[in-house]
Chain A
Amino acid sequence: MLSDMIGRKIEMSVPDVCFVVREDISRVAKHSVEEPTIGVRIGLTGDVTGDVILIFPRPSAYRLVDILMGNEPGTTTSLTEMGGSALCEVGNLAGSFFLNSLAEATGLRAMPAPPVLDGETLVSKMLEASVATRDASAGASESSGSGSGPGQTGGRDALVAQTVLTQSLESVEALFFIVPTNNSLATILNALSSGNAKGSGVI
């Protein structure tokens, strides 16, 4: 449940979760989300590093802002500072929910950075930037001898969750990407497979 932020309950459901490889990340976004999009990116620090990114088709983002602000449907036609802040808070809640669940399941502790709104850049560029940062980080780690190669992550690059936010009879679709560093993805997979996991799932 995302809210009583607004005095109305908003439920977040996750009907589908899958791992994707790098080449598929942008395709999944393009296939599932009509451009243009609005993204909220949250950096991770601690035992798990990388990004979580919540992506909305623009009409969905505007509708969600109307719901969060208590506006009549169709009121929001562009993103104001307050509307952007509301979307960032949704991203913060979704990202924190993931980290809380991960900590409960694996004992790994990670902190979210303040959310960053990207209302202009194409979603594919946002994801590519995140992966590029991840790969640069992995390259640095490998050159220093502490990296974990693709073999340890089974070639998986990101976790993608189809997400639906529902308030009353209305639904807003979003995509939730988790782009961990190679080291972190290996850490997550190891923790989940080594019997440290206390729960049945990450999300």
Chain B
Amino acid sequence: MPRVLIVDDAAFMRMRSRKLLEEHGYQVEEAQDGEEAVKKYVETSPDAVLMDITMPVMDGIAALKEIKKRDPHAKVIMCTAVGQQSLVMEAIMAGARDYLLKPFDPDKVLASLKKLVG
């Protein structure tokens, strides 16, 4: 069963994402900011990460960079409402494997995860 780390400061979005992914056979871990995400990534080595960008403590771009330092093969999907072109480029250059723009689209999330981890 593929394991996915959901990173979002919004409890509502973590709940929605968890429900969707568990219904489709994924095992889910959660983190509510970038710092916690890095810690949990190291502890649990998930198959993929679904990462918000706008978060307290450490934002998603910084967390992406920290995770890639520790695991260059990490599969991180950015999932955020911020769709400015320069930010998308920054995330991709930092090693994000996909960039999904909110509003949350279950089909796109599942398709992106399936492509990365099956």
B-binding residues in A (CB < 8 A): 1-7, 68, 81-82, 85-86, 88-89, 92-93, 95-97, 99-100, 103, 109, 111-114
Contacting residues, chain A, for B2 (C-beta < 8 A) = none
In B86-105, the 8 Å CB interface with A consists of 86-87, 102-105
Partner of B54, one of A2, A86, A112: A112
- Whole-angstrom CA separation of A7 from B106 in the bound complex: 8
From known contacts A5-B103, A93-B102, infer whether A103 and B55 are also in contact, taking CB-CB under 8 Å: no
Whole-angstrom distance from the CB of B36 to the nearest CB of chain A?
A: 14
Partner of B81, one of A1, A97, A109: A97
Shortest Cβ-Cβ A-B pairs, 3 listed: A96-B81, A85-B12, A86-B12
The answer to whether A82 and B103 have CB atoms under 8 Å apart is no
Contacting residues, chain A, for B106 (C-beta < 8 A) = 4, 7
Contacting residues, chain B, for A4 (C-beta < 8 A) = 103-106
Whole-angstrom distance from the CB of A34 to the nearest CB of chain B?
A: 25
Q: Using C-beta atoms within 8 Å of the partner chain, give the interface range for chain B.
A: 20 to 34
The answer to whether A114 and B82 have CB atoms under 8 Å apart is no
Contacting residues, chain A, for B105 (C-beta < 8 A) = 4
Q: Is B16 an interface residue (CB 8 A)?
A: yes
Whole-angstrom distance from the CB of A42 to the nearest CB of chain B?
A: 9
A-B contact pairs, 18 of them (CB 8 A): A4-B103, A4-B106, A5-B12, A5-B13, A81-B11, A82-B12, A88-B12, A89-B12, A92-B10, A93-B103, A95-B81, A96-B80, A96-B82, A99-B82, A103-B84, A109-B87, A112-B81, A112-B82
Whole-angstrom distance from the CB of A166 to the nearest CB of chain B?
A: 14
Contacting residues, chain B, for A7 (C-beta < 8 A) = 106
The answer to whether B82 and A89 have CB atoms under 8 Å apart is no
Q: Is B116 an interface residue (CB 8 A)?
A: no
Of all chain B residues, which has the CB nearest A108? B84
- Whole-angstrom CA separation of A123 from B52 in the bound complex: 29
The answer to whether B82 and A100 have CB atoms under 8 Å apart is yes
Contacting residues, chain B, for A82 (C-beta < 8 A) = 11-12, 15
Q: Is B118 an interface residue (CB 8 A)?
A: no
Whole-angstrom distance from the CB of B31 to the nearest CB of chain A?
A: 14
Q: Is B30 an interface residue (CB 8 A)?
A: no
From known contacts A1-B103, A4-B105, A112-B54, infer whether A93 and B12 are also in contact, taking CB-CB under 8 Å: no
Whole-angstrom distance from the CB of A197 to the nearest CB of chain B?
A: 15
Of all chain A residues, which has the CB nearest B57? A114
From known contacts A81-B11, A89-B13, A109-B86, infer whether A114 and B103 are also in contact, taking CB-CB under 8 Å: no
Whole-angstrom distance from the CB of B78 to the nearest CB of chain A?
A: 13
